[in-house]
Amino acid sequence: MSKQVQAQIRCPNCNHQFEATLYFSIWIEYPENRKLIFDDKINVVTCSACKSKTKLPFPFLCTNVKEKIAVWYEPYPDADVEKDVQQYVKHTGPNSFYATAPRIRDWNAFKEKIVELEQRTGMRQAAEWSPEMREKFQGFVQSLKKKQDLRPAKPVAEVINYKPGAYCQIKLASRERVLISCAQTGIKIVKLGLGGLIPTKTIAEWPVAQIEAAILIFADESKPTQHPLDAIKNKLTLCSSVREIEQLCKGC
Ligand SMILES: [Zn+2]
């Protein structure tokens, strides 16, 4: 359960004192809880006298147990946070995701860290496409007309990292790096910076509902059973730069 605490608050606007309930931990596998954070509405209190709203810099832990994500928002060094961390070390081991949860001081950096961890687990879990998605893909490919592919067959890029069905990192001839990720939610191509460590730009994105658009660009009609990730990988390794990929993705 999300953990809440009662606190005495003094309104910064009118000095009125009132009691409010604050989150000390919150489960973000529940979308409404996650939204509280991303809408900047968590631990926002309304003064009972003057009705002004204040966002309190109160530390709390957000977790998604299913995805093994835990991140602290700790705007100032806090003894209760420290105590909780020690409890987690004791009860879940020093290497558990609870015990190693990052403690982040800055509010925006805190939210970015959550997104970063979610993307990482998303990639890890997107091992296979649903049969429904695969069928859609194959059905479409069979309806395409044969056309001559005049592009040179020789790849000019290097595959750095590849997990079948999930993701693929490519270093292009231009030395730029891109990451293709396939998840249940759709397909995404991003540009990576810092030697492949950080996504710096979304080049193209297709939610599941728009997957045909991606198929139209990347499908290889001679290999109708090919996984979409492989189809995209094969086409992108023929591109020499991010600019070329952008043009390819815009082409349809
Ligand atoms: Zn007030």
Q: Which of 141, 131, 138 is nearest to 216 (CA)?
A: 141
**What pLDDT was estimated at residue 251?**
66
Residue 191 has pLDDT above 50, yes or no: yes
Tell me the CA–centroid distance for residue 45 and ligand 1, in Å: 10
Q: What tens digit of pLDDT does each residue of 118-164 get?
A: 888 766 655 455 666 656 555 554 444 344 444 444 556 888 888 88
Tell me the CA–centroid distance for residue 47 and ligand 1, in Å: 5
CB 128 within 8 A of CB 137: no
| Global confidence as pTM | 0.51
Tell me the CA–centroid distance for residue 57 and ligand 1, in Å: 17
Tell me the CA–centroid distance for residue 171 and ligand 1, in Å: 56
Q: Which of 244, 212, 46 is nearest to 141 (CA)?
A: 212
Tell me the CA–centroid distance for residue 19 and ligand 1, in Å: 12
Q: What tens digit of pLDDT does each residue of 27-61 get?
A: 999 999 999 999 999 999 999 999 999 998 899 99
Tell me the CA–centroid distance for residue 54 and ligand 1, in Å: 9
Tell me the CA–centroid distance for residue 207 and ligand 1, in Å: 45
Three-class secondary structure assignment of the chain: CCEEEEEEEECCCCCCEEEEEEEEEEECCCHHHHHHHHCCCCCEEECCCCCCEEECCCCEEEEECCCCEEEEECCCCCHHHHHHHHHHHHHHCCCCCCCCCCEECCHHHHHHHHHHHHHHHHHHHCCCCCHHHHHHHHHHHHCCCCCCCCCCCCCCCEEEEEECCCEEEEECCCCCEEEEEEECCEEEEEEEEHHHCEEEEEEEEEEHHHHHHHHHHHCCCCCCCCCHHHHHHHHHCCCCCHHHHHHHHHCC
Tell me the CA–centroid distance for residue 15 and ligand 1, in Å: 6
Tell me the CA–centroid distance for residue 53 and ligand 1, in Å: 8
Tell me the CA–centroid distance for residue 14 and ligand 1, in Å: 4
Q: Which of 232, 234, 194 is nearest to 214 (CA)?
A: 232
- To the nearest whole number, what is the mean pLDDT of the chain? 84
Tell me the CA–centroid distance for residue 46 and ligand 1, in Å: 8
Residue 5 has pLDDT above 70, yes or no: yes
d(CA 46, CA 53): 4
**What pLDDT was estimated at residue 61?**
96
Tell me the CA–centroid distance for residue 11 and ligand 1, in Å: 5
Model confidence at 72, pLDDT cuts 50, 70, 90, reads very high
**What pLDDT was estimated at residue 151?**
44
Model confidence at 95, pLDDT cuts 50, 70, 90, reads very high
**What pLDDT was estimated at residue 146?**
41
Checking DSSP bridges between strand 198-207 and strand 186-193, what pairing results, if any? antiparallel
Residue 188 has pLDDT above 70, yes or no: yes
Region 172-186: mean pLDDT is 89
